[in-house]
Copies of this chain bind each other. A is one copy, B any other.
Amino acid sequence: MRLLIIGSVAYDTVKTPFGARERVLGGSASYSSLAASYFTQVSVLAVVGEDFRQEDKALLESRGVDLSALSTVPGGKTFHWKGEYGYDLNDAKTIQTDLNVLGTFDPDVPDHLKDAPYVFLANLDPTAQMKVLDQITQPRVVAADTMNYWIDQRRDGLMDLLPRIHILIINEAETRQLSGEYNLVKAARAILALGPKMLIIKRGEYGVLKVTEDSIFAAPAYPLESVFDPTGAGDTFAGGFVGYLAKTGDLSPESVKTAIVMGSIMASFNVEDFSLNRLLTLRQEDIEDRFRAFKQLTEFSGAV
């Protein structure tokens, strides 16, 4: 089933201990849509500037991502993020953020996408996320990401959004920040009480925790010997996760667990290279191989 993703399409300037890249394609919508493209049909609602390169459009389209709702602001410049990582790749240091065309992004959903059954609202101002949601006629599953800035500066908007989404995808520190609880299970339950049916807590190199009212599921991150660039890992996870749910149309706890593993696998590929490079060269069998390896990584048997 079709998945509509709203988020950023960006140029990133990134430095890690393993190299550097200037103004390469990035942004939450780029990472999540490419990851999702391995599982389902994806449309991106986003905005870029006149400087956005035709070849970057072609890259996304090469994986079948529908860009009919990607608008270009005449005379505008594409959102640009500049960041750096030390050896602790969990910790990005933002050097510069040029919002550019993203600063005035007022998302309009084109008519032909208003019936999207699956929606992923990537990290944006909750007001913009809500505006998109208002235009979707009958969403079956809505997943949303957010960040510390919105929790702090747009708490009211976020509180209005929470009852209208099914799945909130946030990181560990944000879970504590939003709930005011230190214990992660308590924190997650407190957020569930605000509306979402499911919390997906991203823990960086430690993996992901899913918490619902009556269940918890833990998936490790796939351990890698070579991580080149963690940029976009969270968005890639989200894209793989929601993309797999949209593919199967199955929202049972078992299917959600598999979706979480798929998201983790896509994220593990993404960090193996800069920008979207690895996501563009993946083969179906790479994903299948890593799915088997992931089982090996976590499966145990035996009895007390």
Q: Name the contact of A206 in the complex, choosing from B206, B260, B301 (C-beta under 8 A).
A: B206
A254-B302, A288-B304 are contacts. A207–B224 as well, Cβ < 8 Å?
no
Stretch in A44-52, A59-67, A291-299 touching the partner: A291-299
Q: How far is the CA of A247 from the CA of B257 in the complex (A)?
A: 33
Q: How far is the CA of A260 from the CA of B301 in the complex (A)?
A: 11
Q: How far is the CB of A299 from chain B (nearest CB, A)?
A: 7
Copies of this chain present in the complex amount to 2
Docked-complex contact B255 and A302, CB < 8 angstroms: yes
- The interface bits of chain A over 261-304 (1 if a CB of B lies within 8 angstroms of the residue's CB, else 0) are 11000000000000000000000100110010001111111111
- Across-interface contacts of A207 in B (CB, < 8 A): 206, 218, 220
Interface residues on A, range: 35 or more
Nearest-neighbor residue (CB-CB) of A224 within chain B: B185
Docked-complex contact A87 and B216, CB < 8 angstroms: no
- Across-interface contacts of A163 in B (CB, < 8 A): none
Nearest-neighbor residue (CB-CB) of A257 within chain B: B300
Q: How far is the CB of A55 from chain B (nearest CB, A)?
A: 29
Asked if A225 lies at the interface with its beta carbon under 8 angstroms from chain B, I say yes
Q: How far is the CB of A179 from chain B (nearest CB, A)?
A: 13
Docked-complex contact A185 and B223, CB < 8 angstroms: yes
- Across-interface contacts of A184 in B (CB, < 8 A): 205, 223
Asked if A215 lies at the interface with its beta carbon under 8 angstroms from chain B, I say yes
- Across-interface contacts of A215 in B (CB, < 8 A): 296
Q: How far is the CA of A304 from the CA of B291 in the complex (A)?
A: 7
Which A88-138 residues have C-beta < 8 A from chain B? 88
Nearest-neighbor residue (CB-CB) of A188 within chain B: B223
Asked if A149 lies at the interface with its beta carbon under 8 angstroms from chain B, I say no
- Interface centre among A226, A261, A299, by most chain B C-beta atoms within 10 angstroms, is A299
Q: How far is the CB of A59 from chain B (nearest CB, A)?
A: 23
Docked-complex contact A297 and B254, CB < 8 angstroms: no
User: What are some 9 contacts across the A-B interface (CB < 8 A)?
Assistant: A185-B224, A185-B225, A207-B218, A216-B223, A218-B297, A257-B300, A258-B300, A262-B304, A288-B304
Closest 3 CB pairs of A and B: A258-B302, A218-B220, A257-B300
A186-B225, A257-B302, A298-B300 given; name 5 further pairs at CB < 8 Å.
A183-B224, A203-B206, A207-B218, A217-B300, A257-B300
